[in-house]
Amino acid sequence: MVELDSSLHLSRPLGPAAGYQTSTTPLTVVIQPQALFSILDHSSRRPPDQHRVIGTLLGTRSDTDDSSVTIHSAFAVGHTETTDQVEVDMEYQKAMLALHMRANPKEVLVGWYATSSELNTFSALIQNHYSSQGEGTYPYPAVHLTVASEAGKDVEVRAYISSAVGVTPERAADSAAFIPVPHSIAYDAADVSAIDSLGGARDAENRTTNILTDIETLEQSLVSTIDMLDRVSKYVEGVIEEEVEPSTALGQYLLNTLALAPKVEPTDIERNFNEHIQDVLTVSYLANMVRTQMDLSNRLATSTLTMGGGPVGGTDNNKEGGDRKQNRGPRQNRGESISAV
């Protein structure tokens, strides 16, 4: 079965002063791909002795009911972890946050990330710190994102929020119940085209690829479309030969799709086509003509003169002025040829 991440919605833990939050709707986290790429980049650069690295998440909350947090960007924060204690460089975090806010004033602190999936007391400690008053995300819950990228396994992304869980008062600071929240990665149109281009490097040996020109991407799209059509037609042939289970739903769906091609009068098609192709070709012609004119005018302006080298500017500039006037002419009469010298 195709699996989707399942999650359990618990009532969102409220801050100590419940008056701040009026709704207890579950929190969803939307991650933007650039933040994820930042985190992956950081995890690949971590010092070899550190098992995991952490950093801060910045983003925005949805205006109306705070039920959705969008993570826009992330930056790394230095930290060290030993068996007994953990140190997080908060000075660095504050300074980096200030720098970041200058460039993106609308983003606020929304949580933190770690590059391994385990949750231990240190996670709880850091989480409580991030949710605290003052510099934390109070009164909103801090989002904790774990991005696990181990060699050979898939990249696992999990998002949590936490609530305080009391065992004993002394251990309150480093205990937290992490509740998974549903997350999704949102791709814009711009992101999709970038990921397509980056995806071209998937199979290459050195993981690099060139940026393709328009024609090459068109070719790629056509090839993949033809490929998909081949698969569909093989399936249909299989059904006709009675080798594959027929399915009325699929058949109906295919018929619906094929019926999408509009039925237009041939004369209309021809006329529309001619008009559009004329538009396109006219603009192309114009652009190239303007380019040629400018090229000519530049050359004439800086060319040497082989006649009338005598007193200066007089004759030479009249010639240039005349040519420029002629440059103007052809722009208004499109079809005529260049009448310059």
Partner 1 sequence: MTANLRVGGIVLPSARVKIISQEELHQDNENPLESPLPFIVRPSAMSTLEDQPPQAVQLEALTVMKTIKHCAARHPATATGFLVGMDNNGTLEVTNCFPFPIVDVPAEAQFEQQHFNSAAAAPRAKANAAYQAEMIRMQKEVGVDANNVGWYTSANLGDFVNSNFIENQYYYQKELNERTIALVHDISRSSQGALSMRAFRLSPQFMTAYKENKFTTEALLKSGLKYSEILVELPIRLHNAHNVTTFLNQIPSLLSKGEITPPTSVHSIESNPSIARDELGPNFDKLALNIDPFLQQTCDNLLDSVETHHVESNNFSYYSRALGREQQKIQQWQAKRKAENAARAISKQPPLPEDEWQKLFKLPTEPSRLESMLNSRQVEQYAKQVDGFVAGTSGKMFAVRGNLLPGEAGSSVE
Minimum distance of partner 1 from residue 21's CB (angstroms): 29
Among 24, 62, 120, 288, binds partner 1 (CB under 8 A): 288
Residue 247 CA to residue 254 CA, distance in Å, equals 11
Minimum distance of partner 1 from residue 291's CB (angstroms): 4
Closest Cα to residue 130, out of 160, 106, 98? Answer: 160
Give the three-class secondary structure for 56: strand
- Is 19 a residue that touches partner 1 (CB under 8 A)? no
Among 90, 229, 287, 338, binds partner 1 (CB under 8 A): 287
Nearer to partner 1 (CB atom), residue 23 or residue 279: 279
Residue 72 CA to residue 69 CA, distance in Å, equals 9
Among 62, 290, 329, 334, binds partner 1 (CB under 8 A): 290
What type of residue is 141?
A: P
Among 86, 163, 320, 340, binds partner 1 (CB under 8 A): 320
- Is 308 a residue that touches partner 1 (CB under 8 A)? no
Structure tokens that stand for 68 in this block: 């959705």
Sign of CA dihedral 243, 247, 253, 258: positive
Instruction: Show contacts with partner 1 in window 45-104 (CB under 8 A).
Output: 45-47, 72-73, 76-78, 89, 92, 95-96, 99, 102-104
Structure tokens that stand for 107 in this block: 């983003």
Nearer to partner 1 (CB atom), residue 86 or residue 250: 250
Closest Cα to residue 141, out of 58, 27, 52, 222? Answer: 27
Instruction: Show contacts with partner 1 in window 153-212 (CB under 8 A).
Output: 153-155, 186-202, 206-212
Instruction: Show contacts with partner 1 in window 108-147 (CB under 8 A).
Output: none
Structure tokens that stand for 65 in this block: 């009911």
Residue 196 CA to residue 141 CA, distance in Å, equals 35
- Is 27 a residue that touches partner 1 (CB under 8 A)? no
- Is 333 a residue that touches partner 1 (CB under 8 A)? no
- Is 250 a residue that touches partner 1 (CB under 8 A)? yes
Residue 25 CA to residue 10 CA, distance in Å, equals 9
